Amino acid sequence: MPYEKLYARVSCVVCDGSRLSKAYQNPIKAVWNRCAYCDGEGKTYISVGVRGLKKHIELLDEEDLEELKRYINEREAR
């Protein structure tokens, strides 16, 4: 069964959200460039699989879980 893709916005794993990545190592001075993999806030998008989504839902507290259930029920009613 095909699923729609879901993406999460997370801190960049290349630069750790600092927006700087080491382009190459110069023995005298390190040369830094802007990271090409993230946006201006040091965030990037990754795809989230069904297992990852299930794990996230299991970690929700009761209030957030009830809000999510209400939202899903409202969407199904449309």
**What is the domain count for the chain?**
1
Q: Has residue 30 been placed in a domain?
A: yes
Answer yes or no: is 41 within a domain.
Answer: yes
Mean pLDDT of the chain: 81
Its domain, for residue 47, covers 6-77
Q: How many helices (H) and strands (E) does the chain have?
A: 2, 4
Token match 């201006």: residue? 40
Query: In the prediction, which pLDDT does 1 show?
Result: 44
Residue 52 lies in a domain: yes
In a domain, 28, yes or no: yes
For 63-73, the pLDDT digits (tens) are: 999 999 999 89
Residue 7 scores a pLDDT above 90: no
- pTM comes to 0.53
In a domain, 1, yes or no: no
